């Protein structure tokens, strides 16, 4: 057996093993998404990626002349982990998301046959391919600010026979030429929800987006109102970039002086980030303890032209915090 045929067999086995692992983990219960993950090979979208090596990065490449390094590339592709796929001046600007998180988000998107989906953040094109397999190319639009990213994603998709609309543009502005949308799926962290998206949605549309360190699932009532709760899972993505992106979405660290068990507590960090600028650390700690260490699902967000608010349990209060200044884009 030749080297290429051997690597092909290894790829097929690794791909099948990943689908089995995701199914066993309970994130591919929907047979339609299981079929999509089975049909779309991740390695086709990640011909190279970087892994951390001390103060630098090591590039793993599918065409590396060293057979062992090619095998390492392949093993990395089919592990359940995010992969850095584009660096600029040492900073991460694009990645291939963790497959299990992708599966959770696609399931939570709750698409129906015939739904039109807008993806914010094209990445490698892998997520768009999964959507195309489930819904058909004509129902999928993916947007990214970086022309290099969209060109690469378009090429990866076309190589497998998928041809969604791949648009180079500011994702915060949406894509009015392809509206209206039934679903918006966001693969970059936001500081606020761009109001432009609401106006491009049909009533009852669903927006699923990373906010703070969680995933907010919003139901759009109309162009001026959306509301929803966070999912239970954590989520960490590259921040949204672009002229209309609100100020930095960087996650602040946990202040010194808090009890040690909270420094590593994801739920507390989530609440601290979500209420940043409103609650001081000690106030957040008091609330955390008083409300029995609330999980992500107890928090929600309301979006209007007048402002955006996060809240605990009830959007009418008593615990309501401004997310930031109203976004007029």
Note the pLDDT tens digit of each residue in 34-45: 999 999 999 999
> What is the average pLDDT across 88-111?
93
Higher pLDDT, 326 or 324: 324
**Contact (CB, 8 A) for 308 and 192:** yes
Structure confidence at residue 39 (pLDDT) = 98
Per-residue pLDDT of 147-183, as tens digits, reads: 999 999 999 999 999 999 999 999 999 999 999 999 9
- Describe the crossing of helices 99-109 and 31-39 by its angle, rounded to 10 degrees: 140
This prediction's pTM: 0.92
The answer on pLDDT for 249 being more than 60 is no
Choice among 95, 97, 100, 310 that is catalytic: 97
The answer on pLDDT for 79 being more than 80 is yes
Structure confidence at residue 260 (pLDDT) = 56
Q: Token pair 């960090």 is at which residue?
A: 269
**Contact (CB, 8 A) for 50 and 60:** yes
Give the SS3 label for residue 150. helix
Query: Is-catalytic flag, 97?
Result: yes
> What percent of the chain is modeled with pLDDT above 70?
89
Higher pLDDT, 161 or 275: 161
Question: What is the per-residue burial (b if ≥16 Cβ within 10 Å, else e) of 93-122?
Answer: bbbbbbbbbbbbbbeebebeeebbbbbbbb
Give the SS3 label for residue 261. helix
Confidence bin at 10 (pLDDT 50/70/90) = confident
pLDDT, mean over the chain: 90
Give the SS3 label for residue 308. strand
The answer on pLDDT for 250 being more than 60 is no
What separation in angstroms does the CA of 111 have from each of 107, 118, 266, 317? 8, 12, 29, 31
| Start-to-end CA span in the chain (Å) | 58
Confidence bin at 248 (pLDDT 50/70/90) = very low
The winner for highest mean pLDDT among 57-61, 66-70, 169-173 is 169-173
Question: How many residues does the structure list for the chain?
Answer: 329
Residue intervals in the chain for CATH 3.40.50.150: 3-169
The answer on pLDDT for 279 being more than 50 is yes
CATH of 3-169, picked from 3.30.450.70, 3.40.50.1100, 3.40.50.150, 3.20.10.10, is: 3.40.50.150
Exposed, middle or buried: residue 161 (CB in 10 Å: 0-12, 13-18, 19+)?
exposed
> What is the average pLDDT across 225-240?
92
């Amino acid at each position: 057996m030749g080297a290429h045929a051997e690597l092909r067999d290894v790829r097929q086995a690794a791909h099948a093993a990943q689908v089995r692992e995701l199914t066993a983990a309970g994130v591919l219960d929907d047979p339609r998404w299981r079929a999509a993950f089975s049909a779309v090979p991740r390695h086709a979208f990640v011909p190279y990626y970087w892994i951390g090596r001390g103060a630098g990065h090591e590039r793993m490449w599918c065409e590396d002349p060293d057979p062992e390094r090619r095998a390492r590339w392949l093993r990395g592709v089919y592990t359940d982990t995010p992969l850095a796929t584009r660096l600029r001046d040492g900073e991460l600007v694009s990645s291939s998301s963790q497959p299990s998180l992708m599966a959770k988000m696609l399931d939570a998107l709750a698409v129906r046959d015939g739904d039109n989906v807008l993806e914010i953040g094209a990445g490698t094109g892998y997520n768009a391919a999964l959507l195309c397999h489930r819904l058909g190319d004509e129902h999928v639009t993916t947007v990214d600010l970086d022309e290099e990213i969209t060109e690469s994603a378009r090429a990866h998709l076309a190589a497998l026979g998928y041809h969604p609309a791949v648009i180079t543009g500011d994702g915060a502005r949406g894509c009015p030429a392809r509206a209206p949308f039934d679903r918006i799926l966001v693969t970059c962290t936001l500081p606020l929800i761009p109001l432009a998206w609401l106006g491009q949605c049909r009533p009852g549309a669903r927006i699923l987006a990373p906010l703070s360190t969680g995933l907010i699932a919003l139901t759009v009532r109309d162009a001026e109102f959306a509301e929803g709760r966070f999912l239970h899972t954590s989520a960490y993505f590259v921040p949204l970039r672009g002229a209309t992106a609100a100020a930095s979405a960087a996650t602040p660290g946990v202040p010194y002086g808090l009890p040690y068990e909270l420094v590593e507590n994801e739920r507390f960090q989530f609440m601290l980030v979500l209420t940043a600028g409103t609650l001081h650390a000690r106030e957040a700690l008091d609330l955390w303890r008083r409300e029995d260490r609330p999980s992500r699902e107890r928090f929600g967000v309301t979006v209007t032209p007048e402002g955006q608010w996060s809240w605990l349990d009830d959007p009418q209060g008593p615990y309501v915090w401004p997310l930031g200044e109203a976004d007029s884009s």
